[in-house]
Structures are given as C-alpha cells and as structure tokens.
Amino acid sequence: MKFEYQEYNRKATDDELIDDVKRVAKEHCLPSLSMHEYNAYGSFDNSTIIRRFGTWNHALELAGLECRNRFYTELELFNNLQHVWMAKGCQPTRRDMDNKQYSTISSGAYMRKYMKWSNALKAFVEYINQDVSDDSLYEVNSETRGHKTTRDINLRLRFKVMQRDNFKCCACGASPAKDPSVELHIDHIFPWSKGGETEIDNLQTLCSKCNLGKSDLT
C-alpha cells in the first residue's frame, strides 16, 4: 500500500483518478496498465481506484485503455498484427505491439495465447499463407456486374501484395521501414472502373504520394 498525500477535506474526483491512469499509460506508451505498473508510477494507490470504480478493468475502460486479460479471437489478433506489419513495413517486434501508434492490442494478449512472440509470428505467417480462394475475394453481387471480383481488396490480399513488393512503393521505392511517415496503399494497375480485376497480378503497392499522383493522371 502506497502512502498518499491528501489535502484536508479534499478527495480526488473521479476524473482526477481516471486522468492519472491515462497519464501513466501515456507516459509509458502502454495500451493497457497492470495494477503493479500503475502503483509504480501513479499518484494514487490502485486500491483507491478499485474502491471508486469497482474493478480495475472498469477503471481502464473509463480511461479508454485496453482491459487486462481480455480474450481476443485469433482473427482479431491476426488482423491487428497485419495492420502493424503493414504500417511498419517489416516484421513487428514484440515491443511494436505495445506501441499504441500502430497497435490496438498489446503484446500481452499475444503472449497469453502463444507463450512466445516467435510462436505468434509463426501462427500468423501460416494463416497468411493459407489458400485464399475460400474467402470473400470472389464474391459476386449487383455492384460487381461485369467483374469477377469486388473492388474491395481484403486485408489478406493487401498483405500479400505488400509482401510481394517488399513493403515498398513500386514507383519511388519509399518504405515505412525506412521512413515511418510513409503510408503504403494498394493500387489497381489497370483500374477496376475500367474492367481491371482485384487480383494479385493487377495490384501493386504505392505510397500515398505516388498513388495520389496516379489518380490525378487518370
């Protein structure tokens, strides 16, 4: 139990408590916070927070942080990992998963499921390499008349295109791995509106600048 300084007749408001939880998470770039971590850096004791909000997870929720030990489906874990990988332009480290700038699920959730970060990466790569013919890629609806594919490029296909292009812009070679401000897009080489299909051979990786330049031309 931590000794807390308190002014006489003054009790911290709910907002002050939650703001302090937010502050600690922000200062340490953590998507979630354990009671132990909070006690190390917080201005109050975790017991004060729990007395006020009932549970630690409830306080985290109010602070807009990820709940501890939340159960994620494998697909949620993979989708998040995929976003981080594409934003970074290279294989993420365990530490990258705790960077809120890229990741919405902390490394702890992966460790709970896979025990080791390398196991999580192996499971993810296996998932990515599965045959894609069974997913929504070839779904045909009224909007896809004249096409055998939808205009939307699903997440897995996006990833495969970027992987093939080494997470670099095909036009100028820019890569978020070298310059974190670079944002990669997936572009239809032959436009979908003109009959081009959403197939890996008709897709390429472009940085946002080159992609914008291309759409200005057409």
Which residues in this chain contact Zn ion in the complex, by CB under 5 A?
169, 171-172, 174, 207, 210
> Alpha helix (H) ranges present in 8-154?
14-27, 35-41, 46-53, 56-62, 74-88, 107-114, 117-128
Q: Which residue number, 121 or 207, has a Cβ lying nearer to Zn ion?
A: 207
CB contact set of 66 (below 8 Å; sequence gap of 6+) = 31, 32, 60, 104, 105, 106, 109
Q: Count helices and strands (H / E) in the chain.
A: 9, 2
> Smallest distance from the beta carbon of 91 to Zn ion, in angstroms?
22
> Smallest distance from the beta carbon of 213 to Zn ion, in angstroms?
8
Phi, psi of 184 (to 5 degrees): -95, 140
Q: Which residue number, 40 or 172, has a Cβ lying nearer to Zn ion?
A: 172
Q: Which residue number, 108 or 176, has a Cβ lying nearer to Zn ion?
A: 176
> Smallest distance from the beta carbon of 205 to Zn ion, in angstroms?
9
> Smallest distance from the beta carbon of 179 to Zn ion, in angstroms?
11
Q: Which residue number, 48 or 205, has a Cβ lying nearer to Zn ion?
A: 205
